[in-house]
Amino acid sequence: VLARVVRAVAGPAVVCGDFNIDRGSSLFGEFMTGTGLADAFKGNCPPTFRAEYLPAGRTPHCIDFILTADGARAETATVVFAGKELLPGGPAYVSDHVGLRAALVLMAGNQPLALDRHATEHVHVGGLAARLDGNAVSAIPDTRQCPR
């Protein structure tokens, strides 16, 4: 269903979130092939679900993605909230997921569009996304403390 929606978009698009499947799964491969999306991390994303929340013996994988369609590309991509943050109740993880952050460039053909002197960035943390335009934040990730 998501692949059909992505293919119907006429223009720049960003698909990001917790896919709950590993990059190496055939389902993810079919989705990427069927949509033509590009991975902001170019296949080098570290595990995004914390090992502490997995059953014993399970290996964490990258299950969260920032993907771009024609007309949008990731200029940079990095992880955020990888460690514990100082929260009101003390140091804790922001989420059971590591956050992903990408600076995005909107394109007109082969040329970047001049929107602002700041890149547009998307931050994704465990199913919650934020969009930052310059210094303005239109939504912020939930900062509920995780129990571990």
- Provide the pLDDT for residue 61: 92
- Provide the pLDDT for residue 128: 42
Residue type, 122: H
CB 42 within 8 A of CB 76: no
Percent of the chain predicted with pLDDT > 90: 43
- Looking at the DSSP bridge assignments, the partners of residue 111 are 108
- Looking at the DSSP bridge assignments, the partners of residue 28 are none
Q: What tens digit of pLDDT does each residue of 7-60 get? A: 998 888 899 999 999 999 999 999 999 999 999 999 898 999 998 889 999 999
Cα–Cα distance between 4 and 15 in angstroms, integer? 13
Residue 112's alpha-carbon distances to 38, 39, 72, 83, 118, in angstroms, are 17, 18, 9, 34, 13
Q: Which residue has the tokens 């055939």?
A: 26
CB 87 within 8 A of CB 39: no
The two three-digit tokens of residue 39, written as one number? 């991975």
pTM of the prediction?
0.74
85-87 and 90-92 strand pairing: antiparallel
- Looking at the DSSP bridge assignments, the partners of residue 39 are 67
**The pLDDT of residue 93 is above 80:** yes
